[in-house]
Amino acid sequence: MRKKLLSLIIAVVMTVLLVVPVNADIIDDGYNGFATRLYTVVLGRTPDPVGLEYWGNRLRTRNISFADCARGFLFSQEFLAKNVSDTEYVTVLYRTFLDREPESAGLDYWTGRLALGSVNRDTVIEGFSNSAEFGELCRRYSSSSSASNGITVCIDPGHSGVVASGYVPLGPGSSDMKLADTSGTRGRFSGVAEYVLTMQIANQLCTELEARGYNVIMTRTDNSTPVDCVTRAQIGNNGADIMVRLHFDGLDNSSVSGAHSIVIAPNNPWNPQTYAGSARLGRCIIDSYCSATGIRNRGVSEQNNMTGNNWSTIPCVLLEMGFMTNQHDDLYMTNPANHSAMVNGIANGIDAYFAS
């Protein structure tokens, strides 16, 4: 009797162990929900944890749009290998973009045009992804992504491991051309590259802001993608309320230390309407950052020679978090133990900006 009971308990425990998800900390939000749907509808299978995390994160950080995410699945080797007929293909598009089965008139219309060769499969995707029905579906998924405060922050991690080449106008319509991007500075004492550190702080700031209810857009999420300064601004202009650009300073003179905010000047020829917001944002962030970190506060600089700032149509600040050529600043900022103080300082400044 006791033996039977024991084996029953073992059986129950084994069953419970088997149903525990492999990756228990997968986020249950609309972004992962959308990606999960694509696995089911397009690939006809349950998502693998690595793939789900990858697509969920790209959606969450606005690295990719809902439409491009769907396109990624529809052009994946896995889906292409299924070699579906036009009818099956259009049916999958209805399920993917409209979340429903096709009505016969619509199905006939699209399969007919595909058969005639007057459209290709990519054009059909465009038709579906531009529909109002799909827009509604996207809003449903992004709004189910929890306690949003309705504010979107664009974080621009300065520079990149691969520097965008060529030249871009200093401001919209300007004939004054500047380098599209630069390689940035490097820690004289730590040896850490600026673009590596801006990415680290940006990732942590993204997590912190999302935890505080902000939506976050990132201008880059890896160190191998070149992004020019006009594109950085345009990513922010496309849906963000404010733009926070993260940088570190460098100078030959290693005795110079401290952080400062750079914003446009009131006489900016391109987007002067953003001056007041930018100046206030710059002040909120620099004061809060310096009080959280103890880094010397060099205040707010107003200048019209920053391409990314000039192209921003939203309040924009370029935060120079300290000098990587100064021993104290460099060793402080590259020490991961100080990163949460740095990130909290910036996030508190953003809170203060929206609170006042």
Q: Given the rule CB under 5 A, which residues bind Zn ion?
A: 158, 184, 247
Minimum separation from the CB atom of position 157 to Zn ion (A): 10
Which residue is at the shortest CB distance from Zn ion?
A: 247
Of 60 and 178, CB closest to Zn ion: 178
Of 56 and 158, CB closest to Zn ion: 158
Q: Which of 271, 247, 244, 272 is nearest to 354 (CA)?
A: 244
Strand partners, 16: none
Of 138 and 324, CB closest to Zn ion: 324
Q: Which of 239, 243, 299 is nearest to 271 (CA)?
A: 243
Minimum separation from the CB atom of position 246 to Zn ion (A): 8
Of 184 and 187, CB closest to Zn ion: 184
Minimum separation from the CB atom of position 307 to Zn ion (A): 12
Of 49 and 191, CB closest to Zn ion: 191
Q: How far is CA 346 from the centre of its chain?
A: 17
Cα(311)–Cα(329) distance, integer angstroms: 30
Q: Tokens 């060099």 label which residue?
A: 298
Minimum separation from the CB atom of position 266 to Zn ion (A): 24
Helix (H) or strand (E) holding 330: helix 327-333
Minimum separation from the CB atom of position 260 to Zn ion (A): 12
Given a contact cutoff of 8 angstroms between Cβ atoms, the answer to whether 325 and 258 are in contact is: no
Of 58 and 247, CB closest to Zn ion: 247
Given a contact cutoff of 8 angstroms between Cβ atoms, the answer to whether 242 and 314 are in contact is: yes
Q: Which of 208, 123, 187 is nearest to 324 (CA)?
A: 187
Minimum separation from the CB atom of position 184 to Zn ion (A): 4
Q: Which of 98, 99, 80 is nearest to 89 (CA)?
A: 80
CB proximity list for 134: less than 8 A, separation 6 or greater: 66, 67, 97, 98, 128
With H, G, I as helix, E, B as strand and everything else as coil, classify residue 336.
Answer: helix
Minimum separation from the CB atom of position 270 to Zn ion (A): 21
Of 220 and 247, CB closest to Zn ion: 247
